[in-house]
């Protein structure tokens, strides 16, 4: 069972208690995980996505010209590649 020090008297108090049994002070609940910041999370996810895209671009453009697409993907790639040209 977790113990933590009372912020008022410093004595070890059970984690689940909200009041110190020694000094009777109310113990503010401390949460290890900070309050979720959805914007920061979104930014991290966008950054990861960008990195992934950059890596893919680098992979496809840098020195892998002879690399063949797997047969399952090839028709789709051909379609999208030629569609923009107007075939």
Residue ranges binding Zn ion (CB under 5 A): 6, 8-9, 20, 22-23
Whole-number minimum distance, CB 28 to Zn ion, in Å? 12
**Comparison of 22 and 64: residue with beta carbon closer to Zn ion:** 22
**Comparison of 12 and 81: residue with beta carbon closer to Zn ion:** 12
Kindly give, in sequence order, each residue whose CB lies less than 8 Å from that of residue 20, ignoring residues fewer than 6 positions away: 6, 8, 9, 11, 13, 26, 27
Whole-number minimum distance, CB 33 to Zn ion, in Å? 24
Tell which residue, 38, 4, 36, 41, has the closest CA to residue 19: 4
**Comparison of 14 and 52: residue with beta carbon closer to Zn ion:** 14
Beta carbons of 48 and 39 less than 8 angstroms apart: no
């Amino acid at each position: 069972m977790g113990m933590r020090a009372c912020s008022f008297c410093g004595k070890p108090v059970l984690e689940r208690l909200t009041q110190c049994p020694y000094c009777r002070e109310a113990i503010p609940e401390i949460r290890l995980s900070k309050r979720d910041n959805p914007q920061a999370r979104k930014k991290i996810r966008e950054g990861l996505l960008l990195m992934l895209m950059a890596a893919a671009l680098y992979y496809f453009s840098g020195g892998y010209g002879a690399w063949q697409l797997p047969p399952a993907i090839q028709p789709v790639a051909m379609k999208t590649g030629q569609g923009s040209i107007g075939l």
